[in-house]
Every structure is written in C-alpha cells, then in structure tokens.
Amino acid sequence: MRITQKYTLLAYAGLLLLAGCDKSGQDVAAPAAEKYVFSIPANLAASVPTPERNPTTKEGILLGRMLFYDPVLSKNGNVSCATCHQPDKAFTDGKALSTAGVSGKPLLRHVPTLANVAWMQGLFWDDGAKDLESLSFGPLTHPDEMGQNLKELARKLQQHAKYPAMFRKAFGTDSITSAAIGRALAQFQRTLISGNSRYDKYIRNEAGSSLTALELNGLVLFKEHCSSCHTSDFFTDNQYHNNGLDAAYSDANEAMEYGRGRITHAPEDIGKYKTPTLRNIALTAPYMHDGRFTTLEQVLEHYASGVIASATLAPELQKQERLGIPLTQAEKESIIQFLGTLTDEEFVKNPELQPVRE
C-alpha cells in the first residue's frame, strides 16, 4: 500500500461570501469552487506550496488542464503547452532544441520537465520566472514558442463556447484576464507530482518493493558523487551551477549562454544553470540546458573526462587531481541502473494529467 498523506476533497464552506479579490486586487476562487487537497508521497514533502491569491480548486485545475492541452493558446492555433511538455516523456518533448513553436525556429534552451514543478525555487534554466503564476507568460508570448498577444488571447477565450463558464466556476468572474489564465495553468501544473517510482517505494519500504544489487550499488555511488547538487528526494538543490560544459559564453541572443548570469548580470553567475531534477531521467533525453547529450552514458562520460575549466566552474568539479568526477566504466553503469529506478510509470500514465476527454 502506498504511504502517502491522503486527504479528501472538501467544499470551500465559508471561503468567501462573495466572489472577490485578495489584498493585491486579484480575483480569487469563487464560493462554489471545490477545494482540492493534494495527495503527496510521504518522502517528498508535507505540503504543496500555494500562494494565498491562487487557492487550488477542482474547477481551477480542470480549467488549467483544458488550457494546457489546447492549441488555442497559441497565435496560429497549432501549439499547446503539451506540444513541448508531453506526459509520456515526463512533460518534456524528446528534442534537443524544439522547432515546434509558431515560428519553426529552434529554441535556444532544452525543454525542462514539469515534474514536481510546484516545489521548484526559481523557474526556467536561469530563474527567469519566480512562481508558477508567471511561468506561462514567457512561452505564451515568445515569438518562437506560442507567439500570443495576451490581450488577444483573453478576447479569444472570452468568445469561446466553453471557457467563459469554466472561468466563472473557477474564479467567480465573467471577465477573462491574462492573470486568471496564468493562475489556472499554475493550478494544473501543481498537480504534476511524481513520487511513485521503484526508488520511492523502496525508500518508503512498501510491500513488494526492492532494488537489485546493481541498482543499490548505483545508489551508493550516486550519493557519493552526485548528491551534492541532486539533493533530497526531489533530486535537485534548486541552485545554479557551472558544470563545465564550455570554456566561454557568448553574449549573443540576449546573452542566453550566460545562464543565471543573464538574470543577475553578475560575472560570478555566467555559465551557471539550474540543477535539473533527475526524476524520470530515463524518459527526458536529451540532456543539459541545450540538449547536447543524447544518452546518460554521454552525461556521465562528461563528468568523468569532459569537464572544461572556466572562471565560474563549480567547486564540486575541482576537488580531484583533475577536473570532474573519477568514475570507472562499472561505476557509471551502476549509476545509470540506479537512475532507471527513478522512472515513475504512474506519473506518466496518470489519466488525471492527460488531455480531458469530452
């Protein structure tokens, strides 16, 4: 039996007497909206971080789920959020640099997974968004992604056969705004919780769960060599590191190669990128912020023999006589076997995270 914190759905009795606004003047959930309380795997966290201005409701999640899979959000009506964030690939797209956007041009960053995005501190590869409520506006408006004008999108949804009623149920307002669109998408994305892999069931000591001797050896090696950045059962420290991919970083294309330095404008942050979660890593190839490695074997070979020196290189990769992490071929194979235990089949096949069947 899965060990989780299980809750029931409760009505928002007395949440609001009237549909209203929070202190920031933004609409909040309507009185009729039904509160959604998460079921969280016990080894992850006690709760899902949720801002007061955007309480999670069944109606809000359903609306966000509909929007997530609807190409109406894009300028040409052909690109949805799910175009690049596909459930069977743990909400990635399997491409190094996607060309699926409205312009057909390759993006400059690899599509990251949305698994457990509710707990991510800083979003995108460089902390370009601070919270889930603002996360979607970048891809929605980027000319090479969805290319949408937010005011035009609100007008389009206002004229839709189904969306006005759905927004009314979720937020208690007849006016569809870009802020409400962002809040609905955020509510759905908070439900993208992955924590039922074989590793998780082993850690929680659930009946019938076990890891092979090779996988267990990989876990020991992982803790020794990788867990300084891929920490806890989220498998990320939510920090930014230069992992030795390049010696220099171009300032072209709005300094996209600067990574975190593009946001902070601090020289010490140039070349640093967000530590990605390793959950479902076997499903989210290719790897790194630009998708340069197609296999996990290539990733580990980089750390073993391919780390390049630069001014901001992570100290963790400079502790040995040579740069990187010394790993034998057998050790690399064991680590890869362990990483395979982080695949959460329940997550990628969960019907509640798939397109709504009408």
Distance, CA of 167 to CA of 146 (rounded, Å): 21
* Lookup: tokens for 208: 């019938």
List Cβ<8 Å contacts ≥24 apart for 315-323: 316/228, 316/229, 316/241, 317/243, 317/244, 323/244
Region label for 259, one of left (φ > 0), alpha (ψ between -120 and 50) or beta (otherwise): left
pLDDT tops 80 at residue 27 = no
Tell me if 297 sits within 8 A of 328, measured CB to CB: no
Distance, CA of 231 to CA of 224 (rounded, Å): 11
Distance, CA of 335 to CA of 199 (rounded, Å): 13
Tell me if 301 sits within 8 A of 288, measured CB to CB: no
Tell me if 167 sits within 8 A of 21, measured CB to CB: no
Residues 6+ apart with CB under 8 A from 45: 119
Quick check: pTM over 0.75?
yes
Domains (range + CATH), the chain: 4-195+348-353 (1.10.760.10), 198-340 (1.10.760.10)
pLDDT in tens, 102-160: 999 999 999 999 999 999 998 999 999 999 999 999 999 999 999 999 999 999 999 99
pLDDT in tens, 182-241: 999 999 999 999 999 999 999 999 998 999 999 999 999 999 999 999 999 999 999 999
